[in-house]
Structure 1
Amino acid sequence: MNESSYRAQPVSFVRRGSRLQGRRQKAWEDHSEFYLIEVPRLVADTSVDPEYRFDPRTVYGRDAELVVEIGSGLGEAIVQAATDHPERDFLAVEVYLPGLAQTIQRAAAKELSNLRVVQANAPEVLKTMIPAASLAEVWTFFPDPWPKSRHEKRRLVTPSFAELVAEALAPGGLWRLATDWDHYAEQMLEVGTGSSLKNLHDSWAPRFDGRVVTSFENKALEAGREIHDLEFRKD
Protein backbone atom coordinates (compact mmCIF):
# COMPACT_ATOMS: atom_id res chain seq x y z
CA MET A 1 0.00 0.00 0.00
CA ASN A 2 1.33 3.44 -0.86
CA GLU A 3 0.53 6.69 0.94
CA SER A 4 -1.78 8.04 -1.76
CA SER A 5 -4.03 4.98 -1.62
CA TYR A 6 -3.88 4.89 2.18
CA ARG A 7 -5.16 8.46 2.53
CA ALA A 8 -7.98 8.91 0.07
CA GLN A 9 -8.78 12.35 1.49
CA PRO A 10 -6.27 15.22 1.61
CA VAL A 11 -4.73 15.80 5.00
CA SER A 12 -5.26 19.10 6.79
CA PHE A 13 -1.57 19.91 7.11
CA VAL A 14 1.49 20.54 5.01
CA ARG A 15 4.76 19.21 6.37
CA ARG A 16 7.10 22.04 7.19
CA GLY A 17 10.77 21.93 8.14
CA SER A 18 11.69 19.21 10.58
CA ARG A 19 15.20 20.29 11.48
CA LEU A 20 15.93 20.80 15.16
CA GLN A 21 18.56 23.17 16.42
CA GLY A 22 19.84 24.62 19.65
CA ARG A 23 17.65 24.26 22.72
CA ARG A 24 14.97 22.35 20.82
CA GLN A 25 17.50 19.74 19.73
CA LYS A 26 18.85 19.52 23.29
CA ALA A 27 15.34 19.15 24.73
CA TRP A 28 14.56 16.42 22.21
CA GLU A 29 17.75 14.53 23.04
CA ASP A 30 17.29 14.87 26.79
CA HIS A 31 13.55 14.47 27.27
CA SER A 32 11.79 12.91 24.27
CA GLU A 33 12.19 9.44 25.74
CA PHE A 34 9.84 10.49 28.55
CA TYR A 35 7.47 12.87 26.78
CA LEU A 36 7.16 11.43 23.26
CA ILE A 37 4.65 8.68 22.53
CA GLU A 38 6.26 6.47 19.91
CA VAL A 39 3.47 4.99 17.81
CA PRO A 40 3.82 2.26 15.20
CA ARG A 41 3.29 3.62 11.69
CA LEU A 42 1.35 2.15 8.81
CA VAL A 43 2.63 4.05 5.75
CA ALA A 44 3.36 7.74 6.30
CA ASP A 45 5.56 8.93 9.14
CA THR A 46 2.55 10.69 10.68
CA SER A 47 0.25 7.69 10.32
CA VAL A 48 -0.89 5.47 13.17
CA ASP A 49 -1.13 1.72 12.84
CA PRO A 50 -4.85 1.05 13.41
CA GLU A 51 -3.98 -1.88 15.66
CA TYR A 52 -2.22 0.41 18.15
CA ARG A 53 -4.11 1.46 21.29
CA PHE A 54 -3.05 4.25 23.62
CA ASP A 55 -3.35 3.21 27.28
CA PRO A 56 -3.53 6.38 29.42
CA ARG A 57 -3.29 4.51 32.71
CA THR A 58 -0.03 2.86 31.69
CA VAL A 59 1.43 6.03 30.18
CA TYR A 60 0.59 8.41 33.03
CA GLY A 61 0.60 5.86 35.83
CA ARG A 62 -2.83 6.79 37.14
CA ASP A 63 -6.51 7.20 36.35
CA ALA A 64 -7.29 10.82 35.55
CA GLU A 65 -9.30 12.91 33.11
CA LEU A 66 -7.53 13.15 29.76
CA VAL A 67 -7.49 16.25 27.54
CA VAL A 68 -6.25 16.05 23.94
CA GLU A 69 -5.18 19.13 22.00
CA ILE A 70 -5.29 18.71 18.24
CA GLY A 71 -2.63 20.87 16.61
CA SER A 72 -0.76 21.95 19.74
CA GLY A 73 1.69 24.17 17.86
CA LEU A 74 4.52 25.32 20.09
CA GLY A 75 2.78 24.00 23.20
CA GLU A 76 1.93 27.30 24.86
CA ALA A 77 -1.69 26.44 25.66
CA ILE A 78 -1.31 22.81 26.66
CA VAL A 79 1.79 23.28 28.80
CA GLN A 80 0.12 26.07 30.75
CA ALA A 81 -3.02 23.96 31.17
CA ALA A 82 -0.99 20.98 32.40
CA THR A 83 0.75 23.29 34.86
CA ASP A 84 -2.52 24.77 36.13
CA HIS A 85 -4.32 21.41 36.34
CA PRO A 86 -2.00 18.73 37.75
CA GLU A 87 -5.06 16.59 38.46
CA ARG A 88 -5.62 16.13 34.72
CA ASP A 89 -3.54 14.44 32.04
CA PHE A 90 -2.82 16.02 28.64
CA LEU A 91 -1.84 14.75 25.21
CA ALA A 92 -0.52 17.13 22.54
CA VAL A 93 -1.11 15.99 18.94
CA GLU A 94 1.05 17.75 16.36
CA VAL A 95 2.78 16.90 13.05
CA TYR A 96 5.35 19.72 13.16
CA LEU A 97 8.53 18.34 14.75
CA PRO A 98 9.97 21.68 15.95
CA GLY A 99 6.61 22.37 17.62
CA LEU A 100 6.76 19.07 19.45
CA ALA A 101 10.34 19.77 20.51
CA GLN A 102 9.32 23.21 21.79
CA THR A 103 6.45 21.64 23.74
CA ILE A 104 8.83 19.12 25.28
CA GLN A 105 11.25 21.92 26.15
CA ARG A 106 8.49 23.86 27.92
CA ALA A 107 7.18 20.80 29.73
CA ALA A 108 10.62 19.68 30.88
CA ALA A 109 11.41 23.16 32.20
CA LYS A 110 8.37 22.84 34.46
CA GLU A 111 9.06 19.17 35.24
CA LEU A 112 5.55 18.19 34.17
CA SER A 113 4.62 14.54 34.51
CA ASN A 114 1.02 14.87 33.25
CA LEU A 115 1.80 15.78 29.63
CA ARG A 116 2.83 13.71 26.61
CA VAL A 117 3.19 14.51 22.90
CA VAL A 118 2.62 12.50 19.75
CA GLN A 119 3.54 13.23 16.14
CA ALA A 120 0.52 11.94 14.25
CA ASN A 121 -2.37 12.74 11.95
CA ALA A 122 -5.24 13.79 14.23
CA PRO A 123 -8.11 11.83 12.62
CA GLU A 124 -6.14 8.61 12.98
CA VAL A 125 -5.42 9.41 16.62
CA LEU A 126 -9.11 9.86 17.36
CA LYS A 127 -10.36 7.02 15.18
CA THR A 128 -8.21 4.14 16.41
CA MET A 129 -5.47 5.19 18.84
CA ILE A 130 -7.60 6.77 21.57
CA PRO A 131 -10.03 4.47 23.42
CA ALA A 132 -13.65 5.29 22.59
CA ALA A 133 -15.58 7.45 25.08
CA SER A 134 -12.45 8.18 27.10
CA LEU A 135 -11.67 11.90 26.73
CA ALA A 136 -12.74 14.69 29.05
CA GLU A 137 -12.03 17.35 26.42
CA VAL A 138 -10.76 17.78 22.87
CA TRP A 139 -9.25 21.13 21.92
CA THR A 140 -9.00 22.40 18.35
CA PHE A 141 -7.52 25.87 18.65
CA PHE A 142 -6.62 27.86 15.54
CA PRO A 143 -6.35 25.03 12.99
CA ASP A 144 -4.94 25.98 9.61
CA PRO A 145 -7.77 28.01 8.00
CA TRP A 146 -6.86 27.17 4.39
CA PRO A 147 -8.38 30.52 3.36
CA LYS A 148 -8.30 29.96 -0.41
CA SER A 149 -11.53 28.39 -1.61
CA ARG A 150 -9.73 25.75 -3.64
CA HIS A 151 -8.00 24.56 -0.47
CA GLU A 152 -11.05 24.41 1.83
CA LYS A 153 -11.25 20.64 1.34
CA ARG A 154 -8.12 20.43 3.48
CA ARG A 155 -9.73 21.97 6.55
CA LEU A 156 -9.66 19.76 9.60
CA VAL A 157 -13.11 20.54 11.01
CA THR A 158 -15.58 18.58 8.88
CA PRO A 159 -18.66 16.48 9.71
CA SER A 160 -16.59 13.29 9.65
CA PHE A 161 -14.01 14.79 12.02
CA ALA A 162 -16.76 15.98 14.37
CA GLU A 163 -18.05 12.42 14.65
CA LEU A 164 -14.54 11.17 15.46
CA VAL A 165 -14.40 13.73 18.26
CA ALA A 166 -17.85 12.65 19.49
CA GLU A 167 -16.82 9.00 19.56
CA ALA A 168 -13.65 9.77 21.52
CA LEU A 169 -15.34 11.97 24.14
CA ALA A 170 -16.71 10.50 27.34
CA PRO A 171 -20.33 11.38 28.20
CA GLY A 172 -20.28 14.99 29.36
CA GLY A 173 -17.02 15.58 27.53
CA LEU A 174 -16.35 18.88 25.75
CA TRP A 175 -15.07 19.88 22.34
CA ARG A 176 -13.58 23.37 22.46
CA LEU A 177 -12.68 25.22 19.28
CA ALA A 178 -11.31 28.64 18.40
CA THR A 179 -10.39 30.39 15.17
CA ASP A 180 -9.56 33.88 13.97
CA TRP A 181 -11.02 33.35 10.46
CA ASP A 182 -14.68 34.32 10.14
CA HIS A 183 -15.51 31.91 7.33
CA TYR A 184 -13.93 28.97 9.13
CA ALA A 185 -15.77 29.96 12.31
CA GLU A 186 -19.07 29.74 10.46
CA GLN A 187 -18.06 26.34 9.10
CA MET A 188 -17.12 25.14 12.58
CA LEU A 189 -20.46 26.32 13.94
CA GLU A 190 -22.34 24.56 11.15
CA VAL A 191 -20.37 21.34 11.56
CA GLY A 192 -20.71 21.21 15.32
CA THR A 193 -24.39 22.09 15.29
CA GLY A 194 -25.05 19.37 12.74
CA SER A 195 -23.16 16.73 14.70
CA SER A 196 -24.31 14.50 17.55
CA LEU A 197 -22.84 17.01 20.02
CA LYS A 198 -24.75 19.80 21.73
CA ASN A 199 -23.81 23.47 21.37
CA LEU A 200 -23.72 24.86 24.90
CA HIS A 201 -24.42 28.38 23.63
CA ASP A 202 -26.78 29.95 21.12
CA SER A 203 -23.87 30.29 18.71
CA TRP A 204 -20.46 31.52 19.86
CA ALA A 205 -19.07 30.63 23.27
CA PRO A 206 -17.41 33.11 25.59
CA ARG A 207 -13.65 33.01 25.41
CA PHE A 208 -12.34 29.88 27.13
CA ASP A 209 -10.37 31.25 30.07
CA GLY A 210 -8.30 28.07 30.17
CA ARG A 211 -6.69 29.03 26.86
CA VAL A 212 -3.70 31.31 27.29
CA VAL A 213 -3.21 34.02 24.72
CA THR A 214 -0.51 32.53 22.53
CA SER A 215 1.88 34.38 20.24
CA PHE A 216 -0.24 33.18 17.31
CA GLU A 217 -3.43 34.61 18.81
CA ASN A 218 -1.69 37.89 19.55
CA LYS A 219 -0.73 38.21 15.89
CA ALA A 220 -4.34 37.63 14.87
CA LEU A 221 -5.55 40.29 17.29
CA GLU A 222 -2.91 42.74 16.10
CA ALA A 223 -4.11 42.12 12.54
CA GLY A 224 -7.63 43.07 13.62
CA ARG A 225 -9.18 39.61 13.30
CA GLU A 226 -11.93 38.57 15.70
CA ILE A 227 -11.51 35.40 17.73
CA HIS A 228 -14.48 33.02 17.73
CA ASP A 229 -14.83 30.34 20.40
CA LEU A 230 -17.17 27.36 20.28
CA GLU A 231 -18.06 24.76 22.91
CA PHE A 232 -19.91 21.49 22.30
CA ARG A 233 -20.79 18.72 24.74
CA LYS A 234 -21.40 15.01 24.37
CA ASP A 235 -24.57 14.10 26.29
Structure 2
Amino acid sequence: MSEFLNTPEAPHAPGASIRHTRDKGEPRFPNGPKADPAGSHFERRIRSFQPRRSRVTAGQADALQRLWADRGLDIDGQLTLDLAELFGNTNPVVLEIGFGMGEATARMAAADPDTNVLAVDVHTPGQGNLLNLADHMGLTNVRVGNGDAIILLREMLTPDSLGGLRVYFPDPWPKKRHHKRRLIQPEFLTLAATRLKPGALVHCATDWEPYAEQMLEVLGAHPGFENTVPDGGFAPRPAFRPLTRFEGQGLDKGHVVNDLLFRRVQHGQHGHHTEEHREHDQRDNDQSSTGA
Protein backbone atom coordinates (compact mmCIF):
# COMPACT_ATOMS: atom_id res chain seq x y z
CA MET A 1 0.00 0.00 0.00
CA SER A 2 2.94 2.33 0.50
CA GLU A 3 3.02 3.36 -3.13
CA PHE A 4 -0.48 4.76 -2.74
CA LEU A 5 0.40 6.79 0.31
CA ASN A 6 3.06 8.85 -1.43
CA THR A 7 1.32 10.25 -4.46
CA PRO A 8 2.75 13.44 -5.96
CA GLU A 9 1.55 16.61 -4.32
CA ALA A 10 1.08 20.11 -5.61
CA PRO A 11 4.20 22.34 -5.48
CA HIS A 12 4.20 22.84 -1.71
CA ALA A 13 6.20 21.29 1.08
CA PRO A 14 5.60 17.50 1.04
CA GLY A 15 2.65 16.55 3.19
CA ALA A 16 2.17 20.13 4.30
CA SER A 17 -1.29 20.98 5.53
CA ILE A 18 -2.98 23.94 4.00
CA ARG A 19 -4.48 26.79 6.00
CA HIS A 20 -6.39 29.55 4.40
CA THR A 21 -7.89 32.65 5.94
CA ARG A 22 -11.30 33.30 4.44
CA ASP A 23 -14.18 35.66 5.05
CA LYS A 24 -17.26 34.50 6.91
CA GLY A 25 -19.48 32.51 4.58
CA GLU A 26 -16.73 31.96 2.02
CA PRO A 27 -16.55 28.28 1.02
CA ARG A 28 -13.45 26.37 2.05
CA PHE A 29 -12.83 25.25 -1.53
CA PRO A 30 -14.72 27.46 -4.01
CA ASN A 31 -14.51 24.85 -6.76
CA GLY A 32 -14.75 21.85 -4.44
CA PRO A 33 -17.27 20.04 -2.24
CA LYS A 34 -19.90 22.01 -0.33
CA ALA A 35 -19.91 22.01 3.46
CA ASP A 36 -23.50 20.72 3.74
CA PRO A 37 -24.88 19.98 0.28
CA ALA A 38 -28.33 18.80 1.41
CA GLY A 39 -28.69 21.79 3.74
CA SER A 40 -32.17 22.07 5.21
CA HIS A 41 -33.92 20.37 2.31
CA PHE A 42 -34.55 17.21 4.30
CA GLU A 43 -35.58 16.34 7.81
CA ARG A 44 -32.82 15.85 10.30
CA ARG A 45 -32.37 12.22 11.24
CA ILE A 46 -30.09 10.15 13.39
CA ARG A 47 -26.78 10.15 11.53
CA SER A 48 -24.70 7.03 11.14
CA PHE A 49 -21.56 9.12 10.62
CA GLN A 50 -19.68 11.77 12.53
CA PRO A 51 -17.77 14.24 10.32
CA ARG A 52 -14.10 14.40 11.24
CA ARG A 53 -12.24 17.68 11.24
CA SER A 54 -8.65 17.39 10.12
CA ARG A 55 -6.26 19.35 7.97
CA VAL A 56 -6.17 19.09 4.22
CA THR A 57 -2.75 18.75 2.62
CA ALA A 58 -1.71 20.93 -0.28
CA GLY A 59 -2.00 18.02 -2.70
CA GLN A 60 -5.49 17.13 -1.49
CA ALA A 61 -6.60 20.75 -1.76
CA ASP A 62 -5.20 20.97 -5.28
CA ALA A 63 -7.08 17.81 -6.30
CA LEU A 64 -10.34 19.13 -4.84
CA GLN A 65 -9.97 22.40 -6.71
CA ARG A 66 -8.92 20.87 -10.04
CA LEU A 67 -10.99 17.71 -10.21
CA TRP A 68 -14.19 18.19 -8.24
CA ALA A 69 -16.18 19.72 -11.10
CA ASP A 70 -15.60 16.65 -13.29
CA ARG A 71 -15.27 13.83 -10.75
CA GLY A 72 -17.10 15.04 -7.66
CA LEU A 73 -20.76 14.95 -6.68
CA ASP A 74 -22.45 16.98 -3.97
CA ILE A 75 -25.31 14.91 -2.55
CA ASP A 76 -28.04 17.54 -2.33
CA GLY A 77 -31.04 15.30 -3.02
CA GLN A 78 -32.34 17.72 -5.66
CA LEU A 79 -32.03 15.60 -8.80
CA THR A 80 -32.24 12.03 -10.04
CA LEU A 81 -28.84 10.83 -11.17
CA ASP A 82 -28.16 9.42 -14.58
CA LEU A 83 -25.26 7.14 -13.70
CA ALA A 84 -24.36 6.50 -17.33
CA GLU A 85 -23.99 10.25 -17.81
CA LEU A 86 -22.04 10.64 -14.57
CA PHE A 87 -19.45 8.05 -15.62
CA GLY A 88 -19.66 8.41 -19.38
CA ASN A 89 -20.49 4.73 -19.94
CA THR A 90 -23.02 2.04 -19.08
CA ASN A 91 -20.74 -0.16 -16.97
CA PRO A 92 -22.15 -1.42 -13.67
CA VAL A 93 -21.85 0.96 -10.72
CA VAL A 94 -20.85 -0.07 -7.20
CA LEU A 95 -21.65 2.28 -4.34
CA GLU A 96 -19.02 2.45 -1.60
CA ILE A 97 -20.09 4.13 1.63
CA GLY A 98 -17.26 5.46 3.77
CA PHE A 99 -13.90 5.08 2.02
CA GLY A 100 -11.53 6.70 4.51
CA MET A 101 -8.47 7.93 2.64
CA GLY A 102 -9.41 5.98 -0.49
CA GLU A 103 -6.39 3.67 -0.85
CA ALA A 104 -8.45 0.46 -1.04
CA THR A 105 -11.03 2.15 -3.27
CA ALA A 106 -8.37 3.19 -5.76
CA ARG A 107 -6.74 -0.23 -5.81
CA MET A 108 -10.05 -2.01 -6.39
CA ALA A 109 -10.99 0.44 -9.15
CA ALA A 110 -7.64 -0.10 -10.84
CA ALA A 111 -8.03 -3.89 -10.67
CA ASP A 112 -11.53 -3.77 -12.19
CA PRO A 113 -11.67 -0.94 -14.76
CA ASP A 114 -14.95 -2.19 -16.21
CA THR A 115 -16.78 -1.46 -12.94
CA ASN A 116 -17.58 2.11 -11.95
CA VAL A 117 -17.21 3.11 -8.30
CA LEU A 118 -19.28 5.86 -6.71
CA ALA A 119 -17.45 6.40 -3.41
CA VAL A 120 -19.25 8.48 -0.76
CA ASP A 121 -17.79 10.08 2.36
CA VAL A 122 -17.93 13.33 4.31
CA HIS A 123 -14.23 13.52 5.18
CA THR A 124 -12.70 16.30 3.09
CA PRO A 125 -9.06 15.13 3.30
CA GLY A 126 -10.17 11.65 2.21
CA GLN A 127 -12.14 13.09 -0.70
CA GLY A 128 -9.09 15.02 -1.85
CA ASN A 129 -6.82 12.04 -1.35
CA LEU A 130 -9.00 9.70 -3.41
CA LEU A 131 -9.27 12.26 -6.21
CA ASN A 132 -5.49 12.64 -6.12
CA LEU A 133 -4.96 8.88 -6.22
CA ALA A 134 -7.40 8.39 -9.08
CA ASP A 135 -5.79 11.20 -11.03
CA HIS A 136 -2.22 9.93 -10.66
CA MET A 137 -3.27 6.32 -11.34
CA GLY A 138 -5.20 7.35 -14.47
CA LEU A 139 -8.49 5.96 -13.19
CA THR A 140 -11.57 7.03 -15.11
CA ASN A 141 -14.04 4.81 -13.23
CA VAL A 142 -14.11 6.64 -9.88
CA ARG A 143 -16.46 9.41 -8.80
CA VAL A 144 -16.43 10.91 -5.31
CA GLY A 145 -19.69 11.74 -3.55
CA ASN A 146 -19.88 14.28 -0.73
CA GLY A 147 -22.69 13.97 1.79
CA ASP A 148 -25.21 11.59 3.26
CA ALA A 149 -25.45 8.23 1.48
CA ILE A 150 -29.01 7.78 2.74
CA ILE A 151 -30.12 10.89 0.83
CA LEU A 152 -28.26 9.61 -2.22
CA LEU A 153 -30.02 6.25 -2.07
CA ARG A 154 -33.45 7.60 -1.21
CA GLU A 155 -33.64 10.73 -3.34
CA MET A 156 -31.11 10.50 -6.17
CA LEU A 157 -30.84 6.88 -7.34
CA THR A 158 -33.43 4.95 -9.30
CA PRO A 159 -34.61 1.39 -8.62
CA ASP A 160 -32.21 -1.37 -9.69
CA SER A 161 -29.50 1.15 -10.63
CA LEU A 162 -26.61 -0.28 -8.60
CA GLY A 163 -24.48 -3.32 -9.34
CA GLY A 164 -23.11 -3.60 -5.82
CA LEU A 165 -22.69 -2.05 -2.39
CA ARG A 166 -19.54 -1.87 -0.22
CA VAL A 167 -19.40 -0.83 3.41
CA TYR A 168 -15.92 -1.31 4.82
CA PHE A 169 -15.13 -0.55 8.47
CA PRO A 170 -18.08 1.71 9.25
CA ASP A 171 -18.16 3.53 12.57
CA PRO A 172 -19.07 0.77 15.08
CA TRP A 173 -20.70 3.15 17.58
CA PRO A 174 -19.63 0.81 20.40
CA LYS A 175 -21.72 2.32 23.22
CA LYS A 176 -25.10 0.64 23.56
CA ARG A 177 -27.01 3.92 23.54
CA HIS A 178 -25.41 4.70 20.16
CA HIS A 179 -26.24 1.39 18.45
CA LYS A 180 -29.18 3.09 16.74
CA ARG A 181 -26.60 5.11 14.79
CA ARG A 182 -25.05 2.07 13.13
CA LEU A 183 -25.53 2.08 9.38
CA ILE A 184 -26.35 -1.59 8.85
CA GLN A 185 -29.92 -1.73 10.13
CA PRO A 186 -33.08 -3.34 8.68
CA GLU A 187 -34.42 0.01 7.43
CA PHE A 188 -31.18 0.79 5.60
CA LEU A 189 -31.14 -2.65 3.98
CA THR A 190 -34.73 -2.24 2.81
CA LEU A 191 -33.82 1.04 1.12
CA ALA A 192 -30.62 -0.38 -0.37
CA ALA A 193 -32.51 -3.40 -1.70
CA THR A 194 -34.70 -1.17 -3.86
CA ARG A 195 -31.63 0.35 -5.51
CA LEU A 196 -29.63 -2.84 -6.10
CA LYS A 197 -30.06 -4.99 -9.17
CA PRO A 198 -30.99 -8.62 -8.53
CA GLY A 199 -27.77 -10.54 -8.01
CA ALA A 200 -25.83 -7.46 -6.83
CA LEU A 201 -23.26 -8.18 -4.14
CA VAL A 202 -23.36 -6.47 -0.75
CA HIS A 203 -19.93 -6.63 0.88
CA CYS A 204 -19.39 -5.45 4.46
CA ALA A 205 -16.29 -5.70 6.61
CA THR A 206 -15.63 -4.69 10.20
CA ASP A 207 -13.06 -5.29 12.91
CA TRP A 208 -15.62 -4.73 15.69
CA GLU A 209 -16.94 -8.21 16.47
CA PRO A 210 -20.23 -7.20 18.16
CA TYR A 211 -21.08 -5.09 15.11
CA ALA A 212 -20.11 -7.98 12.82
CA GLU A 213 -22.56 -10.21 14.68
CA GLN A 214 -25.29 -7.59 14.31
CA MET A 215 -24.56 -7.24 10.58
CA LEU A 216 -24.79 -10.99 10.14
CA GLU A 217 -28.07 -11.10 12.05
CA VAL A 218 -29.84 -8.28 10.20
CA LEU A 219 -28.56 -9.27 6.75
CA GLY A 220 -29.44 -12.91 7.39
CA ALA A 221 -32.96 -11.99 8.48
CA HIS A 222 -33.68 -9.57 5.62
CA PRO A 223 -35.81 -11.09 2.83
CA GLY A 224 -34.03 -9.06 0.17
CA PHE A 225 -30.65 -10.71 0.64
CA GLU A 226 -29.10 -14.15 0.85
CA ASN A 227 -25.74 -15.18 2.26
CA THR A 228 -23.24 -16.37 -0.33
CA VAL A 229 -21.58 -18.53 2.33
CA PRO A 230 -23.18 -22.00 2.32
CA ASP A 231 -23.15 -22.40 6.11
CA GLY A 232 -24.60 -18.93 6.60
CA GLY A 233 -21.61 -17.46 8.46
CA PHE A 234 -18.89 -14.96 7.78
CA ALA A 235 -16.90 -15.08 4.55
CA PRO A 236 -13.11 -15.33 4.23
CA ARG A 237 -11.61 -12.02 3.13
CA PRO A 238 -11.89 -12.13 -0.66
CA ALA A 239 -8.72 -11.49 -2.62
CA PHE A 240 -10.31 -8.52 -4.37
CA ARG A 241 -10.60 -6.53 -1.11
CA PRO A 242 -7.14 -5.10 -0.40
CA LEU A 243 -5.67 -5.09 3.07
CA THR A 244 -5.83 -1.45 4.13
CA ARG A 245 -3.48 0.41 6.41
CA PHE A 246 -6.30 0.83 8.93
CA GLU A 247 -7.06 -2.88 8.83
CA GLY A 248 -3.39 -3.77 9.24
CA GLN A 249 -3.19 -1.61 12.34
CA GLY A 250 -6.22 -3.41 13.77
CA LEU A 251 -4.77 -6.82 13.03
CA ASP A 252 -1.54 -5.80 14.75
CA LYS A 253 -3.63 -5.06 17.84
CA GLY A 254 -5.25 -8.48 17.71
CA HIS A 255 -8.54 -7.39 16.19
CA VAL A 256 -10.54 -9.96 14.23
CA VAL A 257 -11.80 -8.74 10.86
CA ASN A 258 -15.02 -10.26 9.55
CA ASP A 259 -16.28 -10.03 5.97
CA LEU A 260 -19.91 -10.51 4.98
CA LEU A 261 -20.90 -11.27 1.40
CA PHE A 262 -24.62 -11.22 0.67
CA ARG A 263 -26.43 -11.17 -2.65
CA ARG A 264 -29.59 -9.28 -3.63
CA VAL A 265 -32.27 -11.84 -4.37
CA GLN A 266 -34.55 -11.65 -7.39
CA HIS A 267 -37.57 -9.39 -7.02
CA GLY A 268 -40.50 -11.46 -5.88
CA GLN A 269 -38.30 -14.40 -4.87
CA HIS A 270 -39.97 -16.22 -1.98
CA GLY A 271 -42.74 -13.61 -2.21
CA HIS A 272 -40.61 -11.00 -0.46
CA HIS A 273 -40.96 -8.01 -2.79
CA THR A 274 -43.42 -6.28 -0.50
CA GLU A 275 -46.10 -3.71 -1.20
CA GLU A 276 -43.91 -1.22 0.65
CA HIS A 277 -41.13 -1.84 -1.88
CA ARG A 278 -43.52 -1.47 -4.81
CA GLU A 279 -44.85 1.85 -3.50
CA HIS A 280 -41.27 3.06 -2.93
CA ASP A 281 -40.29 2.11 -6.49
CA GLN A 282 -43.40 3.76 -7.95
CA ARG A 283 -42.61 7.01 -6.13
CA ASP A 284 -39.10 7.04 -7.58
CA ASN A 285 -40.34 6.23 -11.09
CA ASP A 286 -42.79 9.13 -10.81
CA GLN A 287 -39.99 11.45 -9.68
CA SER A 288 -37.75 10.30 -12.52
CA SER A 289 -40.41 11.01 -15.12
CA THR A 290 -40.96 14.54 -13.78
CA GLY A 291 -37.30 15.31 -13.19
CA ALA A 292 -37.92 15.79 -9.46
Work out whether the TM-score is over 0.5: yes
Q: Of 177, 189, 193, which aligns to 1:150?
A: 177
The answer to whether 1:198 aligns with 2:234 is no
Structural mapping, 1:104-119, within 5 Å: 104-119=131-146
The answer to whether 1:210 aligns with 2:243 is no
CA drift at 1:30? 1.9
Give the equivalent residue in structure 1 for 2:285: none
The answer to whether 1:77 aligns with 2:107 is no
CA drift at 1:3? 5.2
Deviation string, structure 1 residues 1-45 (Cα, Å, up to 9, x no partner): x859812x3101112216423111111122222210134x3xxxx
Aligned length, in residue pairs: 224
The answer to whether 1:6 aligns with 2:43 is yes
The answer to whether 1:227 aligns with 2:263 is no
**Which amino acid is the alignment partner of residue 181 of structure 2?**
R
Q: 1:32 to 1:3 in 2, by over 3 A?
A: closer
The answer to whether the 8 Å contact 2:74/2:147 transfers is no
Give the equivalent residue in structure 2 for 1:67: 94
Distance 2:219 2:191 in 1: 12
Give the equivalent residue in structure 1 for 2:113: 86
Distance 1:183 1:64 in 2: 36
Q: Of 59, 64, 68, which aligns to 1:28?
A: 64
Q: Which has the larger radius of gyration?
A: 2
CA drift at 1:189? 0.5
CA drift at 1:203? 1.0
Distance 1:117 1:3 in 2: 22
The answer to whether 1:127 aligns with 2:157 is no
**Which amino acid is the alignment partner of residue 226 of structure 2?**
K
Q: CA-atom RMSD, angstroms?
A: 1.7
**Which amino acid is the alignment partner of residue 233 of structure 2?**
S
Distance 2:110 2:228 in 1: 26
The answer to whether the 8 Å contact 1:165/1:175 transfers is no
Distance 1:168 1:76 in 2: 26
Structural mapping, 1:155-166, within 5 Å: 155-166=182-193
* Range 207-216 or range 14-23, more displaced: 14-23
The answer to whether 1:172 aligns with 2:209 is no
**Which amino acid is the alignment partner of residue 233 of structure 1?**
R
Distance 1:99 1:147 in 2: 23
The answer to whether 1:187 aligns with 2:220 is no
Structure 2 segments unaligned to the other structure (5+ residues): 1-38, 266-292
**Which amino acid is the alignment partner of residue 124 of structure 1?**
I
**Which amino acid is the alignment partner of residue 22 of structure 1?**
A
CA drift at 1:87? 1.0
CA drift at 1:128? 2.0
TM-score normalized by the length of structure 1: 0.90
CA drift at 1:190? 0.8
CA drift at 1:91? 0.5
Structure 1 segments unaligned to the other structure (5+ residues): 42-47
Distance 1:114 1:226 in 2: 31
Identity %: 37
SS in 2 for 1:79: helix
**Which amino acid is the alignment partner of residue 245 of structure 2?**
S
- Which consecutive segments of 4 or more residues in structure 1 shift more than 3 A? 2-5
TM-score normalized by the length of structure 2: 0.73
